[in-house]
Amino acid sequence: MANIVAIVGRPNVGKSTLFNRITQTRQAIVHESSGVTRDRHYGKAFWNGYEFSMIDTGGYITDSEDVFEEEIRKQITLAIEEADVIIFAVDVESGITDLDKTVAGILRKVKKPVFLAVNKADNNKRFMEANEFYSLGLGDIYPVSAMNGTGTGELLDAVTGAFEKAIFDEEIPDIPKFAVVGRPNVGKSSFINAMLGEDRNIVTPISGTTRDSIHTRYQKFGLDFFLIDTAGLRKRGKVSEDVEFYSTMRSIRAIENSDVCLLMIDAVEGVTAQDITIFGNIQRNRKGVVLLVNKWDLIEKDTHSVKTFTKEIQERIAPYTDVPILFTSALTKQRVLKALETAVEVYNNRIQKIPTHKLNDLLQEMIEAYPPPAIKGKFIKIKYATQLPNQTPSFAFFCNLPQYIKEPYKRYIENKIRENFNFTGVPIQIFFREK
């Protein structure tokens, strides 16, 4: 199950520091691309055997005192809708403020697990002062210090203990799950409508699926899969920045529940920072991906248009460029079926298992052609390779000095694997272990 934990609260209580502590990152920015402001508030975390996503809502508050309350209310509402568990962060130094009371009033009405993290409790005096936050009426408090990690273990024990085990009320067939994701207004709804058509008897809505995404059974043209529909963003009045935030949260949820993501890009607007953000989320979650350049019918084309656009996309998503790119039009249904067939191919690439003997035959060729460089006069000898029994393609290479294998050589091995086996559209993990 994909679990999402949102950190909410007023500004300057240490939400980002707590986010960084839980995700074990030094800074909130996760993606290297410039201008990717949304991505700095999303990360992966591990605790008690659970992998879950962390959302820090702090960076989405408009920097103006007179609209703090309104903006906080918007972000908490969005977090409540999309998250499974909510961490409410407060500051023991400043005590209970009017904004804290406002947030607490909203959260008391929520039928989801809410955990009150009293931050900056880094000594015994502050630990005792944290007790005043019981008056907010949210149950147990968790005194923590995001700066040095005190108390975060107890908080995470409670958070992971609240994750629900069941996803569906009824058993769902083990077939591929495809998610159509992308920025608002890139044509997701039109693409889904073009794909489903008017013959509605080919789809079967499954009751009891996760509350925030619609699983639709598609059975046509020899294809059989579940479609995770994220196109239906709810209309809101006077929405500006929070539309992007809301769509990002919906995309994260859909990505985590899918096997392959169909990422739609607007051909008219070109590749944007938000597109790269969503692509990074797909890659981080190790899902298959197909890039769809939609609205291709609106572009004035020449003989080099496809090549030029493809090159631009590959430059933006480098170094992970082994990704299928299709130019579609939901309006004219151009390459809609091709997109679905490609998604099935990527799904098959993602679940394939390479026989160990074939992998080791390739290993010998790779080492003969380009042996690992010697480090500090020490020679690295790779003896054996195998594919790990993971849900996503992962390979372990056993050698005498795994700590000396550098990133360029890992990239070389990944490229050779891709050259010899079809992993198009699928992220690969390479591990070096001591034999």
3-state secondary structure of 246: helix
DSSP-derived letter for residue 88 is E
- Percentages helix, strand, coil for the chain (3-state, rounded to 5) are 40, 20, 40
Measured distance CA(178)–CA(189) in Å, rounded: 14
Measured distance CA(404)–CA(260) in Å, rounded: 34
Neighbours of 12 (CB within 10 A): 11
pTM above 0.85, yes or no: no
3-state secondary structure of 51: strand
The burial class, CB within 10 Å (0-12 / 13-18 / 19+), for 267 is buried
Neighbours of 142 (CB within 10 A): 23
Measured distance CA(51)–CA(64) in Å, rounded: 36
Query: pLDDT 10s digit of each residue in the chain, 435 long?
Result: 568 898 988 888 888 889 889 888 654 433 333 233 333 467 788 888 888 888 887 544 444 455 555 666 666 677 777 788 999 999 999 999 988 998 899 899 888 899 999 999 988 899 899 999 999 999 999 999 998 889 999 999 999 998 864 343 344 567 889 999 888 788 887 888 888 774 333 344 443 333 345 567 788 878 888 887 665 433 344 344 455 555 666 677 788 889 999 999 999 999 998 889 889 889 988 999 999 999 999 988 888 889 999 999 999 998 889 999 999 998 888 999 999 999 999 999 999 999 999 999 999 999 999 999 888 888 999 999 999 998 889 999 999 988 989 899 999 999 999 999 999 999 999 999 987
Indicate the length of the chain as a whole number: 435
Q: Distance of CA 8 to CAs 73, 165, 204, 289, Å?
A: 10, 24, 37, 31
Q: Are 61 and 69 in contact (CB under 8 A)?
A: no
Q: Is the peptide bond before 319 cis (omega within 30 degrees of 0)?
A: yes
Q: Give Cβ neighbours of residue 256 (< 8 Å, ≥ 6 apart).
A: 2, 4, 53, 285
The burial class, CB within 10 Å (0-12 / 13-18 / 19+), for 339 is buried
Measured distance CA(282)–CA(31) in Å, rounded: 12
Q: CA nearest 85: which of 108, 115, 42, 48? A: 115
* pLDDT confidence of residue 356: 95
Q: Retrieve residue 363's tokens.
A: 């290993």
Measured distance CA(20)–CA(44) in Å, rounded: 10
Q: CA nearest 288: which of 426, 414, 421? A: 426
* pLDDT confidence of residue 186: 86
